[in-house]
């Protein structure tokens, strides 16, 4: 490995030390419905995001709430001495990607059949620590 590549890899590794990742794979909800909720909490502080998800009526919000709590638990496991309320955590990145599709057939009139696609998704949630206290 070249010197430049090695230095950039070490720098990227140092930057990612204060990031926490949580993943939800093969969630049986369409990616479009999940992105509607994910767009609402992107960039918000963790406390605000939890409140938004708690009072949302969408099914995707319950699944993202569970994922966000899991990411907070991952942060606590990484920083045993830190307090979540003082850490100033925020949702740095949230990605919703398409997962596998279950293909089913539904009977249609006159001997035809329509294909039903039951979509699933993968969600990746990355928490970051803000340097200064900001209020969103």
19-129 has CATH 3.40.1350.10 classification:
no
Residue 82 tokens, joined: 């830190």
What was the pLDDT predicted at 133? Answer: 53
Residue ranges covered by each domain of the chain: 19-129
- The distance of Cα 22 from the centroid of its chain, to the nearest Å, equals 7
> What's the rounded mean pLDDT across residues 84-92?
87
| Confidence category of residue 135, pLDDT binned at 50, 70, 90 | low
More confident residue, 78 or 31: 31
| Nearest 10 degrees: Cα torsion 92, 46, 94, 55 | -150
What was the pLDDT predicted at 15? Answer: 83
What was the pLDDT predicted at 78? Answer: 87
What was the pLDDT predicted at 92? Answer: 94
Query: Whole-angstrom Cα distance, residue 23 to residue 125?
Result: 6
Within the chain, residue ranges assigned H as helices are: 3-15, 31-41, 46-54, 59-78, 84-87
More confident residue, 101 or 87: 101
> What's the rounded mean pLDDT across residues 27-51?
96
Neighbour-count burial of 21, counting CB atoms closer than 10 A to its CB (0-12 exposed, 13-18 middle, 19+ buried): middle
> What's the rounded mean pLDDT across residues 89-93?
94
> What's the rounded mean pLDDT across residues 80-85?
80
Contact 136, 48 (CB under 8 A): yes
């Amino acid at each position: 490995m070249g010197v430049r590549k090695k230095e950039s890899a070490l720098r990227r590794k140092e930057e990612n030390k204060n990031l926490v990742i949580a993943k939800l794979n093969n969630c049986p909800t369409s990616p479009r419905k999940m992105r509607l909720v994910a767009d609402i909490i992107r960039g918000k502080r963790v406390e605000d995001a939890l409140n938004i998800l708690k009072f949302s009526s969408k099914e995707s919000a319950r699944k993202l709430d569970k994922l966000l709590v899991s990411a907070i638990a991952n942060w606590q496991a990484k920083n045993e001495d830190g307090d979540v309320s003082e850490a100033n955590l925020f949702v740095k990145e949230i990605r919703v990607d398409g997962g596998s599709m279950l293909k089913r057939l539904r009977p249609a009139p006159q001997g035809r059949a329509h294909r039903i696609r039951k979509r699933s998704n993968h969600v990746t949630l990355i928490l970051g620590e803000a340097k200064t206290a900001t209020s969103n």
